[in-house]
Structure 1
Amino acid sequence: MFISFRHAAALLVAARLLPGVAGDFLGPSFPAPSDLTSDTSLVKAAWQSVTAALAAAGLGDNAKSSRPANTSSVLGAAQNITFSIGLFSLHDPDTTSLQFHHTSPEIAASTVGTKKVDNNSIYRVASVTKVFTALAGLLSLTDADWERPLSDIFPILRSQPSSTDDVLSTRWDKITMRTLAAQLGGVPRDGFPGSPGEIALQLYQANVSTEALMAVSGLPAPNPEADPLAAPPCLVAFQQGRDCTAEAYLAGVANRAPTFSPWTGPAYSNNGFTLLGLALANVTGHSVADLFQQKIFTPLAMASSFSDPPPPSQFPRGVIIGPDATATGFAAPNGLFVSSGGVFSTTGDLARFGVGILNSSLLPAERTRRWLKPVSHTARLQYAVGAPWEILRFVGSGGKVTDLYTKSGDSGLYSSWLVLVPDYGFGFSILSAGSAGGRVGVVAALADLVTQAVLPALEGQAAVEAGEKLAGRYRAADEGLNSTLVLGVVKGTAGLVVEEWISNGTDVLPWLAKVVGPGPFRLLPSVEDDKGARVAFRLVGSTDSPALGDGAPGALFAAPGMVTADWISVDVNTYYGAGLSLFVFDVGKDGKATAVTIPAWRVTLTKSAGK
């Protein structure tokens, strides 16, 4: 039986927060790049550096190494782990060339599944499933549904004896589906039988007596008559070889003590997503498996994704360790836990899924943007939590902050990452399998390697394309106005730089420095219309430009830039109702600007040809 869906503990150390960082508005420095794969793309060059490092470590089908890889290193240890890495982009339709696959010896020797992994190999994705569950909820529930307490959905929770002891009794009347999706319900982490940390379960599996444990731990003998928690129905069912029903599962978690009060702080909970899946089925009248298929897999053409174990006809594509697919966990039934970690998928399908999210293919754009936002902080400065996102902050060499919306997964013989970078319409996935130890750390190190190389290249490529499509000289059609705007791209500087600005024969920049603050003045993307024909930018100075500070501790409210931060002062200066900072570009289907309108100056300037 499939037992656990353990959260991968390792973080992307590439996503680091440095003290003293200031950072413009939250968002990209330039419009997202559309070229990730041509021979001149900086992203392709960065990817080639990644694959070269992997090949040098003896990984991949074309690995070249003059000596055996150092298996004590993280990448060296990856030789014994099968993995697939795939990059994808909303703006570059074919990124299949930006993939890397490594087949370990144990998969190469598989007698049931694939012997060589590729874009279409089927892995378990473990807790990456939670993203599918949250999306299925967004596609199926009303706002009122999200706020329904679990005691209203499940009578067995409503019938629990009332207690005034909020410390030991979970308040099911205060826990909603929304709190579960955001890991803020405070419910116990795992429920039986999917509880890898349950000591009694470990004893049963290892055939060790309770008496032996008592001798070394000081724990008391179980007394089910005095303590109902000592015999949760699903644990008993598991020990007797029976399936756990939803009713038995709910009875087993109903009297457990909470980890926190709802909305106090995030606490990772597989049990929470199991409960969310059961609630989804109850409210919608459809199983989670049906919701995944009807709402996500079919609309996004994810023909190689499954919420139940794939049929034997698909085993030749399965990443299966050993001779028995069920024994290795690949085809073990998900039971009640499909919503927490039951999805099977491929590198190709996860690319379709990631692009579908970034493109708002299933949700309206504003709801996608709402979903891709933090709901809570953690105690780590660089780590926030969404529903169910694990949000990491990457700080580039120039101090620019980019948020990574990630979800990790680890269960049994499988570990995974899904990473979305909404600022640049980009993402990547890592799927892995292996019985060797250290798999979670290896997969996290691979994610680091990709992030460190590709994120700076994405911004660099975005700058290059902005220089080609938006930078240049803009002039008023009426020569008598003597109005000119010159925009450029400066390496290491976020946004389009205003190099020259003449309006009605007057140099605007000296006056602007007095009103807005010191330059250099830059334009940052803000709003794009649905058709991409008009793109708004906002002008900022250097007051809150990205910069690495000295990291001196102490100042909070009086920290430099707190009062003058760009997000506070955006659109503060106006002229007859039009913001001084607003610039609107007209762009063609090729993304190249043809004109820019500056509403406060009541003028439209046409881009000069060839400039």
Structure 2
Amino acid sequence: TVVLCPLSDAATPNCPLLGPVFPKPHNLTSSSIMQAAFANFTTFLQGRDAAIEGQENSYSLEVFSGGDQDTSAFTWYHTATNLPSFNSTGVTEVDGDSVYRIGSLTKLFTMYTFLIEAGDYYWNAPITDFVGELQTIAANKTGDALNKVSWNDITIGALASHLAGLSSDTSVMGELTQSVPDNIELVYLGFPPLPEADIPTCGTWPECDRAEFFNILQRFDPAFAPFGTAAYSNIAYQILSYALEAITGKGFEQMLDESIISRLGLKSTSYNAPYESVGIIPGTVKSTNWYYSLGEENPAGNMYASSSDIARIGRSIINYEILSGPQTRRWMKPTSMDTDPRAAIGAPWGIRSIYLNNSFAETYRVVDTYDKGGAISVWVSFMVIVPDYDVGFILLIAGNNINDLEMQFLDAWGTIIIPALEATAKDQAGTQYAGTYSVAAPSGNSSDAILRPRTPAGPPPGVSVAEDVLNPTNKTLSNSTAILNATSSAVPYDASSPLNSSMTIVMDEKPGLGISSWISNGTDMRLTVAQLMTNYSDPYWIDLSIRLYPTDLVVTDDGTRTQSFKALFEDLASPLVEKTYSTACATWIGPTAYVYGSLALDQFFITTYSNGTVTIDPRALRVTLEKEATSPSKRNIRKKPVL
């Protein structure tokens, strides 16, 4: 085995592919790392409970994972000290079934319902194909790009992703003639008197029906050009519900119930207000608007739910219970960026990029969280899903002095729990996969492998090896490194001898699983990779790093689980460059750069069997290596055929 020597000490950190760097953590409640994190989170929450925030606000928090059954990994329920003073007719003690108004978190239910009922097949279709009123407005309204909304250019996907260029609302919220108290004269705030015809006759109260909504909507100027920039819009989700009704021929409330509420057995979730006795209501039903309905705008923000029900919905998304894996992964992707480089927008996700760069080795480790929040009257809601770990967080608050309490909770979650999830995934991966793998069966090779002796190629005509040695700048012909692996002294295979193949996987401070040793029938594959990376020149002078990262390609069968991993081959001696366009982190362009007989050199299948045996298949090498047992109880498995 040849040890490759770097030119300098870690000049460049590893650049992992975006996504999980370890297999997703499991059994969170039995992890000592997570238990310590939950204890720290509990200490933080106890501090909020005892502070003024806890005296004046009630809340339900849950941390759930895809592996949970009916109970989340962590729950915290707090009842405000001052709740009895309100003579509330709602619950007197908060638990996982206490019902809150969830405001704009409703949009997540609406989008989930849309995808379940119609998928994203219509994503790029213009909304005028489905909503007749908009087709009429588009045809009849006069004006130009400044004062006429380009409805024929607005698609289903644009509405879902807040890219339609529409205003946030019509007259339900934001319309000053509807929302400013009666004792305040708007003309004294600098506004000119309005003609009676320009004042909406419906909105907050009385609510607009569908015809009135479109009559008001047609007066609006466009806020932006379609697909110009993301701008939050309640209008968009009201129109989406109309489009879905046109596509399916069913009412939206019926579809919501059939697709999600009844399907998942949600007992504390409803489209309209449930009876007040199940709700956490910090006041009277009148003062808090418990029963107030948004009417036609219900799909944008009217729903009611408990933390346990929302966690159940989160698990259904994570586990692909209703939508397929590809459909879910398409949904959980950004559709536009935001000014803050750590933020992006989806449908209807707000996406936050959290940098876990606690060391130089983790410089480029980024975890994306997919979030949706809401606020209405005295309630605030938030749901977070972290695909890298298949874990989520639910936060519901009810109170009259919330201020920034939800952000305090979210920041604590991000600071305490997310790093612990990364550490747990790493710890479990080390226990499961770190070690030395070797050929388990006597011959090691599959029966259909064809072994051919190989004659190394000589230098081009007229050029001797000695001449090449004297010309160290000749990279094309290869200088003194020409002998290396591909020579007559390095016999590639001997079918009559046991196969000398092995691999060592290590866990260290870097992302992913590290390959510190990789031998294929006596040949150092790390050196082979280095030769390929340098076009067969000077492979000793790169600081080769081979890291394995999990993919979403997983097969389970009768207790056996096989997952595909992708390796990244990196030279950490390369200069760390970060300029306007130059970067040291662009590994997404590199996967599957080398293939051998149509199988990728950087593709590995790792299989865990029900008896605890672990194997790794380097796909291009057509061999199965078994992790060396750490106890006599482990037994060899039968040799597998080439997959």
Secondary structure at 1:37 match in 2: helix
Partner of 1:107: 83
Structure 2 counterpart of 1:121: 98
- On the 8 A contact 1:84/1:102 being kept in 2, the answer is yes
Paired residue for 1:367? 327
The answer as to whether partners of 1:24 and 1:544 remain within 8 angstroms in 2 is no
Cα offset, 1:327, TM superposition: 3.7
SS at match of 2:545: coil
> Gapped runs of 5+ residues in structure 2?
1-11, 444-497, 534-541, 632-643
CA spacing shift, 1:584–1:276, aligned 2, 3 Å: same
Gaps of 5+ in 1: 1-19, 64-68, 72-76
Q: Does 1:261 align with 2:281?
A: no
**Does the residue aligned with 2:152 lie in a helix, a strand or coil?**
coil
Which residue in the other structure is 2:544 paired with? Answer: 519
Residues 50-61 of structure 1: pairs in structure 2 closer than 5 A: 50-55=41-46, 57=47, 59=49
Q: Which residue of 1 aligns with 2:453?
A: none
Change beyond 3 A, Cα 1:224–1:405: same
The 8 Å contact of residues 36 and 92 in structure 1, kept in 2 or not, is answered as: no
Matched, 1:349 2:318: no
The code of the aligned residue for 2:147 comes to: L
Counterpart in the other structure of 1:318: 279
Instruction: State the 1:302 CA deviation.
Output: 1.4
Task: Give the aligned partner of residue 234 of structure 1.
Answer: 202
Q: Select which of 409, 413, 423 maps to 1:460.
A: 423
Q: How does 1:467-478 map to 2 (within 5 A)?
A: 467-476=430-439, 477-478=441-442
* 1:423 aligned counterpart, secondary structure: coil
Q: CA deviation at 1:353?
A: 0.4
- How do 1:184-223 and structure 2 match up within 5 A? 184-192=163-171, 194-195=172-173, 197-203=174-180, 206-210=181-185, 213-217=186-190, 219-223=191-195
Quote the Cα distance in structure 1 between the aligned partners of 2:572 and 2:93: 50
- Decide which moves more: 116-125 or 496-505: 496-505
2:127 and 2:156 in contact (8 A); partners too: yes
2:609 matches 1:588: yes
Greater Cα offset, 157-166 or 176-185: 157-166
Give SS of 2:288's match.
coil
What are the superposed Cα offsets for residues 165-213 of structure 1, whole Å, 9 maximum, x if unpaired? 1111112222222211110111111122x21x2221233xx11253xx3
The C-alpha deviation readout for 1:72-125, integer Å capped at 9, x for no partner, is xxxxx3442211110000124365351112211343444311111111111111
Tell me the equivalent position of 2:471. Answer: none
1:358 pairs, out of 297, 318, 342, with 318
- The change in CA–CA distance for 1:360 and 1:162 in structure 2 (over 3 A counts) is same
Equivalent residue number for residue 8 of structure 1: none
Q: Report the 3-state secondary structure (helix = DSSP H, G, I; strand = E; otherwise coil) of the residue aligned with 1:273.
A: helix
Whether 1:510 aligns to 2:527 is: yes
Quote how far apart the aligned CAs of 1:21 are: 9.0
1:537 alignment partner, SS class = strand
- Aligned-partner Cα distance in 2 for 1:403–1:93: 24
Query: 1:434, 1:411 → 2: CA distance?
Result: 11
Task: Return the index of the structure with the highest Cα Rg.
Answer: 2
Q: CA deviation at 1:144?
A: 5.2
Aligned to 1:485: 503
Distance 1:543 1:191, change over 3 A: farther
Pick closer, same or farther for the CA change 1:108–1:89 going to 2, 3 Å: farther
**CA apart distance, 1:224:** 3.6
Q: SS of the counterpart of 2:153? A: coil
**Corresponding residue of 2:475:** none
Shift in alpha-carbon separation, 1:405–1:589, aligned structure 2, 3 A: farther
Q: Following TM superposition, by how much is the alpha carbon of 1:414 offset from its aligned partner in structure 2, in angstroms?
A: 0.8
Match of 1:521, SS? Answer: strand
Deviation at 1:163, TM superposition (A): 2.6
- The reply on whether 1:535 has 2:563 as its aligned counterpart is yes
Q: Is the 1:583–1:597 Cα contact (8 Å) retained in structure 2?
A: yes
- The CA deviation string for residues 285-316 of structure 1, in whole angstroms up to 9 with x for no partner, is 32222111100112222121111111x2xx33
For 1:145-181, what per-residue CA distance to the aligned partner results, in whole angstroms no more than 9, with x for missing partners? 4444333333333333333411111122222222111
Relative distance call for 1:543 and 1:589 in structure 2 (3 A) is same
How many correspondences in the alignment? Answer: 546
Match of 2:457 in 1: none
Q: Say which SS state the counterpart of residue 485 (structure 1) adopts.
A: strand
Distance 1:587 1:536, change over 3 A: same
- Say whether 1:436 aligns with 2:401: yes
Cα distance in 2 for residues equivalent to 1:144 and 1:488: 44
Matched-pair contact (CA < 8 Å) for 1:518–1:541: no
Secondary structure, aligned partner of 1:584? strand
Query: Equivalents in 2 of 1:363, 1:513: separation in Å?
Result: 42
Q: Which residue of 2 aligns with 1:406?
A: 371
The 2-side partners of 1:326 and 1:257 are apart by 35
C-alpha deviation, 1:510, in angstroms? 2.8
Structure 1's 164 and 249: CA in aligned 2 closer, same or farther, altered over 3 A? closer
Letter in 1 for 2:192: P
Match of 1:35 in 2: 27
**Which of the numbers 143, 151, 158 marks the counterpart of 1:179?**
158
Q: What CA distance in whole angstroms lies between the structure 2 residues aligned with 1:409 and 1:23?
A: 35
User: What residue is the counterpart of 2:468 in the other structure?
Assistant: none
Amino acid at match of 1:166: A
Tell me how far 1:413 sits from its aligned partner.
Answer: 0.8
Cα distance in 1 for residues equivalent to 2:522 and 2:99: 65
CA RMSD, Structure 1 to Structure 2 (Å): 2.5
State, as a whole percentage, how many aligned pairs show the same letter.
29
| Paired residue type of 1:208 | N
Aligned pair in 2 of structure 1 residues 91, 168: CA closer, same or farther (>3 Å)?
same
8 Å CA contact retained: 2:177, 2:199: no
Change in 2 beyond 3 A, CA 1:579/1:97: closer
The separation in 1 between residues aligned to 2:315 and 2:119, in whole angstroms, is 24
